[in-house]
Amino acid sequence: MSTECQPLEPATPAGDSLGKESLNKESLSKERLRLWLRMLRVTRQIEAELREKLRVEFDSTLPRFDVMAALFRDSDGLKMNELSKRLRVSNGNVTGIVERLVDDGAVERIAIEGDRRATLVRLTAAGRATFTEMARAHEGWVNALLDGVTEDDAHHIGELLHGLPADTGERQ
């Protein structure tokens, strides 16, 4: 959903006693909020279009795509554990998605010798083939959706986002 709330009235109204308006903390906070709302709206919109494309053209979904993408990168397979860390979603969530991918024949579970708690999850050959097609299409869709963005823009925004607390988290 959209978080369609707009900045409320400033707590420090008209006359600002701290200095230039544009250097004001209130103003900066409002501007960041506006930015966040716009980022959210754009992201949601793009996600919706990608989801629709995946649904219509591949009878698949974004979560499935995400899981397959992670497994495609680690072609030796991942433990459920690692998968959920990689995708930053809850453990139980991954269980369900993988379950459906197994039903689809795109993914297989492999027992790990020496640890009967864990399971390895891996793309099947069919899964790899399907994902390769999906990924190619996906890149095309994104490219089209970000039509107005030049390479410089992309690079610039990327840099700005990169410094954010939200982007510097525990990845890997």
How far is Cα 62 from Cα 158, in angstroms, rounded to an integer? 22
Q: Which residue has the tokens 């990169």?
A: 162
Residues of this chain, 74-93, that bind its own copies according to CB under 8 A: 86-89, 93
What's the number of CA atoms in the CB half-sphere (13 Å) around residue 64? 22
* Residue 92 binding DNA, by CB under 7 A: yes
- Give the binding range for its own copies (CB under 8 A) out of 24-32, 99-107, 113-121, 122-130: 24-32
Among 53, 63, 123, 130, binds DNA (CB under 7 A): 63
Residue number with CB closer to its own copies (52 or 115): 52
Residues 6+ apart with CB under 8 A from 4: 37, 41
Number of residues that bind DNA (CB under 7 A): 34
| Strands (E) located in the chain | 78-79, 107-111, 119-123
Tell me which DSSP letter residue 12 carries.
S
Strand partners, 123: 107
Among 13, 15, 92, 148, binds its own copies (CB under 8 A): 148
Strand partners, 108: 122
- Give the binding range for its own copies (CB under 8 A) out of 106-114, 118-126, 137-145: 137-145
The residues binding DNA (CB under 7 A) are 1, 48, 51-52, 55, 61-64, 79-82, 88-98, 100, 109, 112, 114-120
